[in-house]
Structure 1
Amino acid sequence: MLLSDEIYGDFRVEKVVEELINSFPVQRLKGIHQGGAGYLVNPDWNVTRYEHSIGVMLLIRILGGSIKEQIAGLLHDVSHTAFSHVVDFVFGNQHENYHEQIYHSVVGDSEIPEILGKFSYNCEELLFDDSKWTLLEQPAPELCADRVDYTLRDMYRYGHISKQEVQAFLNDLQAVNGEMYLRSINAAEWFVQTYYKEVIDFFMDPLNIFSNDRLAKTLKLALDKQMIDIHDFLNEDDALINKIKTMEDEELNEILDLIHPYVNVQEDEVNYDLHRKSKVRLIDPSIINGQGIQRASVLSERVKKMNNAAYEKSIKGTYVRIC
């Protein structure tokens, strides 16, 4: 099977990977938008969990990760519910990890264990302990394939970085003992700036905050009215929202009608309609050079300032006025 990815290029993958890609849990991710409800107010915000999952797998491959870690990367997001992290707002989950809480059951109830067993892989050993997959996941503020891919993918797709910049960054990236490092402080500064374009400027964009907030309110109300149940969240985005629309509930449709591409919102700390704080997401890549391994913030005052500004913005949150 030949995979073509807009970030990493073309790759031929093994039969086990092909069968996993063609499985229902992975194919469903084509209908799950990475940015939650954002695509409802800006159709260009259209990156899917499927594209991200393929990308994470390929980045691990490029860095020399084992086929097992590549599979773990491919499958790491299969339990994401419709509209991704919107479900965390529905349930008041401040850790934004609902998909991790249901991962075991979603995988276990799917054809994934059978496919892995067919190729002599143990599902529980491969998927249910991700601490061994150190390219895939690392605690912040380190780099990892998950964090790097969603940053590069979103920012490239949405026109904030060029293909040349992406390639220069990837050329500077290396894996040492199963962990990701950069060779130069210039690459680190570029990625830190790009990462905050993602998690501050994009995630906390007033339009993003508005759409996710209003959709979360809609879904919570639909649950309270027993018009949907928790199993509906394992459908695709459009299937879930269409189910609510077909109920023809006036109260629900009134909220949904506000979520459209022509809505006008702006940030206003004085006259605001909603306020949302973001999960604190900081990045401080490690640089490996002749002096050993050092944090970027130790070598760069610019990185330190960007981190401080990002922390302050996350704590302050976004104040949104609906115009």
Structure 2
Amino acid sequence: MSMQGCTQGRMRNRMNADMEKRFTPLMRLYHNEIPGLLQELYETPPLCRLADVGMHCGCDYSSFPMFRFQPMAEQAERYTRDLHSMGTALIVQHFTGDLKQSAAGLLHDIATPVFAHVVDFLKGDHVCQEATEEATEEMIGASSGIMEALRKYGIRVEEVSDYHRYPIADNPSPGLSADRLEYTLGNFYCRGRKSLEEIRLLYESLSCIQNEKGEPELAFASERAAEEFALGALENSRMYTADEDRYCMQYLADLLKKSLEWGVLQPEDLYGTEKRVIGLLQRDERSQRLWEEYRKLSRVCTTDQRPEGCYSVRVPSKLRWIDPLFRKNGGAVRISETSSRVKAEIEKLRSTDFDVWIYVPEGAEAAARFLQNM
């Protein structure tokens, strides 16, 4: 072997070792091995960037108690988009055995900007939160590493650029897909809501069946498992729709908007890493004050009337729930059709009142000065 070959081999071994330290206990549950294509894609710059794009849309940079999470792995302090993407890919691989579908699952978030759905808020897309799904195919084509790996395995860009085409990877809400399954289990884990053993039992009760549309979908083996999962997913949803979450995301959206107006950030910076964007924010006195203030936020209040003299927000949020199938009498049934508790909790979520003004009682003076009239 040439000296160059030896060096490349050592580099790959080192990358594999670093990648191994980022593997979460959940990944080891999802599938018993990581196919070579997924490993090679995971090591490309677009996927590496996602290691510094969080799953909680920047809320975990604040000091709200609900956004304190446990580490995901030895070198994964935060639950980030690369971990979610690999988890999604492994779930797809486990249930389909199809590398094209798995690769599409791995690549589905590569166009996610910093702070993720905060940029949806920035674009006014509070409810659907789909504005950040743009440019996936373009980013795949622009990556020499991704393109090289795809060519090596005989896969075309159009076969992996839209994971919506594969029902196990993604399907219309509120069905259960690999994407929704992974972020639900991931939040169970990082929030400490379920033990690894409880998550394992839920995961191992899943199989792939045909749903009412004749399409493949994941389904639980029992009503009990489906109910446990659905109720847990609804509890996660209460975090996504909480006053604290909406305040954080709108604050960050307004901070990014102002920073773009001030020239502190350029649009392309939003597709870098959160560490770099935070560093840029700290170079300007105004954005630095706003960021440092954001980091200290720990309590919100609500009122029916817009409060005077302070920064306040009144925004809706996407309602997320999952209504999984479970096997029954040779067929499959949605859990909401048999569980009155799940049905009631779904209706409770759907009736969430977003028509309130959210503000912090103290500690948002910079926001009052720079963001109040946005």
Of residues 34, 44, 55, the one that matches 1:13 is 34
Alignment partner of 1:213 is 2:232: no
Residue 36 of structure 1 and its aligned partner are, at CA, apart by 1.1
- TM-score of the aligned structures, taking structure 2 as reference length: 0.79
Which stretch shifts more, 45-54 or 128-137?
128-137
1:72 and 2:91 aligned: no
For 1:136-151, what aligned pairs fall within 5 Å after superposition?
Answer: 136-151=169-184
- Matching residue's letter, 2:288: N
Q: Is 2:352 the counterpart of 1:305? A: no
Deviates more, 1:35-44 or 1:185-194: 35-44
Mapped partners of 2:206, 2:27: distance in 1: 13
Partner of 2:321, secondary structure, is: coil
Out of 24, 40, 53, the residue aligned to residue 61 of structure 2 is 40
Task: Extract unaligned runs of 5+ from structure 2.
Answer: 1-15, 70-77, 211-215, 362-374
Matches of 2:254 and 2:247 in 1, distance apart?
Answer: 11
- How much does 1:109 deviate? 1.3
Matched, 1:204 2:241: yes
Query: Contact conserved, 1:117 with 1:123, CA < 8 A, in 2?
Result: no
Kindly report which structure 2 residues correspond to 1:1-323, keeping only aligned pairs within 5 A, or say none. 4-9=23-28, 11-42=32-63, 44-45=68-69, 46-94=78-126, 95-111=128-144, 112-124=146-158, 126-177=159-210, 178-200=216-238, 202-246=239-283, 248-250=284-286, 252-260=287-295, 262-270=296-304, 273-290=312-329, 292-313=331-352, 315-316=353-354, 319-323=357-361
Task: Report the aligned-residue RMSD.
Answer: 2.1
| Secondary structure of the corresponding residue to residue 63 of structure 1 | helix
SS at match of 1:265: coil
* Structure 2 CA distance for aligned equivalents of residues 269 and 293 of structure 1: 44
- Residue identity in the other structure for 2:151: G
Counterpart AA for 2:139: V
Q: Measure how far apart 1:166 and its partner are.
A: 0.8
1:36/1:317 Cα in 2 relative to 1: closer, same or farther (>3 Å)?
Answer: farther
- The farther-off stretch of 105-114 and 264-273 is 264-273
User: Against the structure 1 CA distance between its residues 269 and 277, is the aligned structure 2 distance closer, same or farther, given a 3 Å change threshold?
Assistant: same
Equivalent pair of 2:113/2:272 in contact (CA under 8 Å): yes
DSSP 3-state at the match of 1:216: helix
User: Deviation of residue 283 (structure 1)?
Assistant: 1.9
In structure 1, runs of 5+ residues without a counterpart are none
Q: CA deviation at 1:245?
A: 1.6
* Alpha-carbon offset, residue 228 of structure 1: 1.8
Aligned-residue identity in percent: 24
Cα deviations across residues 169-224 of structure 1 (Å, max 9, x unaligned)?
11221112532111211111111111112122x21233332322211111001112
Seen in structure 2, the aligned counterparts of structure 1 residues 286 and 31 have a Cα distance that, compared at 3 Å, is same
Distance 1:297 1:6 in 2: 30
Task: Decide whether the 8 Å contact of 1:143 with 1:283 is kept in 2.
Answer: yes
Q: SS in structure 2 opposite 1:280? A: coil
Matched AA of 1:253: Q
Quote how far apart the aligned CAs of 1:318 are. Answer: 6.6
Runs of 4+ in 1 over 6 A off after TM superposition: none
**Structure of higher CA gyration radius:** 2
Alpha-carbon distance change, 36 to 195 in structure 1, aligned in 2, over 3 angstroms:
same
